[in-house]
Amino acid sequence: MPQSLSRVIIHTVFSTKDREPAFQNTAFRAEVHSYLGGCAKSLDCLPIQIGGVADHVHLLTTLPRTLCIADFVKEVKRVSTGWIQERGGLFAQFHWQAGYGCFSVSESVVPKVVRYIEGQEEHHRVITFQDEYRELLRRHGQKWEEQYVWD
């Protein structure tokens, strides 16, 4: 076959450094989500749904066959950190956490993941980010060491 094709969908989750609630202003949060989508798009990763709450984000995107997950996350964090820091004030010292979670998503469950990301505000009225993240790790069969997950 002379042509190489792929359709890989990933759900990436990462928080602000120390889970600082940096995006309490919902208008600014929407701008951050939009900017993250633009960062993904510039890497040829189709943004399907971007969302989150004050202390973390969820990105549901495609991943092109020419880009590895680590490079995708590194570049999205790098570019968005600079953009957020340019806002000045309290944002001048903004950083994302060092780590991240990234999970494969089957095409058949994309609508369910989209609804999950859209419902973050409601979801986090009853569950913390840490508990949500632990559940994502469990659901995807990922083992982790608690002392290394949070920074």
Tokens of 4: 């190489």
Residue 40: CB atoms within 10 A of its CB come to 24
What percentage of the chain carries pLDDT values higher than 70?
99
Taking the model in full, what pTM does it have? 0.94
Q: pLDDT band at residue 142, thresholds of 50, 70 and 90? A: very high
Tokens of 2: 């002379």
Residue 99: CB atoms within 10 A of its CB come to 15
Cα separation, 145 vs 40, in Å, equals 29
Domain chopping of the chain, boundaries: 8-149
84, 94 in Cβ contact below 8 A?
yes
29, 118 in Cβ contact below 8 A?
no
Cα separation, 89 vs 94, in Å, equals 10
Q: pLDDT band at residue 1, thresholds of 50, 70 and 90? A: low
Residue that has been written with the tokens 């749904």 in this structure:
49
Mean pLDDT of the chain: 95
Task: Dump pLDDT digits (tens) for 41-87.
Answer: 999 999 999 999 999 999 999 999 999 999 999 999 999 999 999 99
52, 23 in Cβ contact below 8 A?
yes
Burial class (CB in 10 A: 0-12, 13-18, 19+), 133: buried
Give the CATH class of 8-149: alpha beta
